[in-house]
Amino acid sequence: MQIPSHTSVGTSEFEGRTNRILRIVTRLYVPIVTLIIIALIGSWAEPWANFDPLTVAQNGRLKFQSGDEVLAAKETNRLSPAEARLAADVVREGLNRTGVGPRILFMGDSQTMAIMDRQPGDLTTPQWVQVILAREEADGHTPLLVLGSLPNLSMPEFLVRLIAANDSPNERVNAVILCVTLRQWRGLVVRPSELKLAQQARVEADIRRLIATNPDLADGDAAIVGALRAARAEGSVGSGGVRTRFADRAEYALDAWFNSHLPLFGIRSQLRARIGLLFTSWRNQIFHITTASPRPVPANTYRASLQIVELALRYARTRHITMVLYLSPVRPIQPNPDIPEDLARFRTDVTRLCESYNAVYLDYTNLVPEKLWTNYPLSDPTTFGEPDFAHFTGPGHKLAAQRIMSDAGEKIGSAMR
């Protein structure tokens, strides 16, 4: 069909304009719709991410001591205000606690820091040890208990903390009480916070010296050296270890700006944790994993952990530090995540080590009766009311502290003098 020429010009102009508009719309469609979807996901994710990723926040029955609790309130505790203050300082100051007089370093995992179904006036095991020490000390120089515990404390982290606590010439440690737990021998991970501690010049020099003088403990050495090497690689770029200064500052500034101005940025860590929690929850359901599922300890992490404890005992011997090792209480029910054969081997090996290095060995695996243990709350998204095999109630802590002091008090007392 022939179209008159004047109409043809008008149509082609119109078509050209329409095509241009269409082209622009086509080009902008993907970016604009993408941004809309991102905004929709962001607005949906914001309330979903509004949660505290820490275990303690998920488990309403578990409480970590902060130092602000009312400790003197419980009638049965009969704490004087001074004792309550001392007990509060144990958790408030942690590893940084300083003062005049002898020092005892107390280390363990979250079992030594948290209380199930906490009642007013409940204290943790190290807080009780501090109170008992204060009560037993007659000459007015109460030994200071320095709390080096950390949730999920691995044995490499224990060694790093021990050396860091004993690093300063004016703040030597006289005795160490270590709560050893089989569950923490399943891994050798050193967290970034502890790696920073390990990278302090004096601490790193001490660690390297210790490793160099104990080449027979190769697995333990490798676990520590490997962590330090990884930390150096993480903290540096290029083989020379040069950090980008100006760019770093710019990056931090931009990150901070995005965090405060864009909602999705501000909730990144919560979203990551939430996704991780979702993954764990699905995993548990698919594989029928419960808190009581057997958790075997790999032979290589076990061997390395044992050797690190031996390294610590050798370090303590050269520094004249009295070592008290106690096997953490195990919940007396079956099924149990600790496999009996693993537990038997653990007992034998730690006993042998303590005998070799003249350290105090206390087996508290059967110390805390079933009535002092509890279950996770039903609301916990990954454990749904299953038994808690790691933490016990306030009276359990008091029992553990009393037994430590009655079994090892004399040895600890002599180390203070």
Partner 1 sequence: MTLQSYAYLLFALVLWVAVYPVRQPSRRQLALLVASYLFYATWGLEFLSILIASSLLNYAWGIFLRRRPTLGRLWGGVALNVTLLAIFKYLPSIDYLLPISWTGSSLMRSLVMPVGISFWTFEALSYLFDLYREEELDPSLTEFCLYMALWPTVLSGPVCRLPDMLPQFRKNSPPDWEDVATGIHRIIVGLFMKLVLTQLLIAGFEKTGGIDYGFDQISQGWSGIDVWYLAIGYGFYLFFDFAGYSHIAIGSARLFGLRLSENFDRPYLSSTPSIFWTRWHMSLSSWIRDYVFLSLATLRRDLWWRNLSLVLSMMIFGLWHAATATFIAWGLYHGLLLVLHRQIQSIRRRMSMAIPALLDSLMSWGFTFGAVNLGWLFFRAPNLRQALTMFRAILTPRGYFHLSFRPDSYLIAFVVISGYFLFVGLESIFRQLADSGVLERGRWLLSPVFYAVAAVCILIWSGNETTFVYFRF
Task: Report 122-161 residues binding partner 1 (CB under 8 A).
Answer: 152, 156
* CA neighbor of 147 nearest in space, from 73, 205, 90, 92: 90
Which of 191, 314, 347, 411 touches partner 1 (CB under 8 A)?
A: 191
Rounded CA Rg of the chain: 29
What span, in angstroms and rounded, lies between the C-alpha atoms of 165 and 174? 11
List, in sequence order, every beta strand (DSSP E) within 256-384: 322-327, 360-363, 373-375
Q: How far is the CB of 299 from partner 1 (least distance, A)?
A: 5
Task: Report 3-42 residues binding partner 1 (CB under 8 A).
Answer: 27, 29-30, 33-38, 41-42
Residue 31 carries which side chain, given as an amino acid letter? P
What span, in angstroms and rounded, lies between the C-alpha atoms of 67 and 69? 6
Please name the residue ranges forming H helices in 101-200. Answer: 125-136, 155-165, 192-198
- The kind and range of the H/E element at 315 are helix 299-318
Per the CB < 8 A criterion, the answer to whether 144 and 103 are in contact is yes
Ramachandran region, residue 238 (left: φ > 0; alpha: ψ -120 to 50; beta: rest): left
Residue 100's alpha-carbon distances to 171, 174, 342, 405, 410, in angstroms, are 9, 13, 42, 22, 21
Please identify, among the stretches 6-14, 117-125, 189-197, 380-388, the one whose residues bind partner 1 according to the rule CB under 8 A: 189-197
User: Which residues are CB-contacts of 215 (< 8 A; sequence separation ≥ 6)?
Assistant: 221
Please identify, among the stretches 201-209, 222-230, 372-380, 402-410, the one whose residues bind partner 1 according to the rule CB under 8 A: 222-230
Please identify, among the stretches 168-176, 199-207, 277-285, 390-398, the one whose residues bind partner 1 according to the rule CB under 8 A: 277-285
What span, in angstroms and rounded, lies between the C-alpha atoms of 123 and 398? 7
For residues 70 and 230, which CB has a smaller minimum distance to partner 1 in the complex? 230
Q: How far is the CB of 313 from partner 1 (least distance, A)?
A: 20
Q: Token pair for residue 238?
A: 């290029």
Which of 9, 237, 333, 378 touches partner 1 (CB under 8 A)?
A: 237
For residues 138 and 242, which CB has a smaller minimum distance to partner 1 in the complex? 242
Please identify, among the stretches 127-135, 181-189, 371-379, 401-409, the one whose residues bind partner 1 according to the rule CB under 8 A: 181-189
| Size of the residue set binding partner 1 (CB under 8 A) | 66
Please identify, among the stretches 171-179, 198-206, 235-243, 382-390, the one whose residues bind partner 1 according to the rule CB under 8 A: 235-243
156: three-class secondary structure by DSSP: helix
Does residue 241 belong to the site contacting partner 1 (CB under 8 A)? yes
Q: Token pair for residue 289?
A: 């994993």
For residues 241 and 385, which CB has a smaller minimum distance to partner 1 in the complex? 241
Taking every pair of Cα atoms in the chain, the longest distance, rounded to a whole number of angstroms, is: 117
Please identify, among the stretches 4-12, 125-133, 295-303, 323-331, the one whose residues bind partner 1 according to the rule CB under 8 A: 295-303
For residues 16 and 296, which CB has a smaller minimum distance to partner 1 in the complex? 296
Which of 21, 57, 275, 333 touches partner 1 (CB under 8 A)?
A: 275
For residues 140 and 238, which CB has a smaller minimum distance to partner 1 in the complex? 238
Binding site for partner 1 (CB under 8 A): 27, 29-30, 33-38, 41-42, 45, 152, 156, 186-192, 218-219, 222-223, 226-227, 229-230, 233-234, 236-242, 244, 246-247, 250-251, 254-255, 258, 264-265, 268-269, 271-273, 275-276, 279-280, 283, 287, 296, 298-301, 303-304
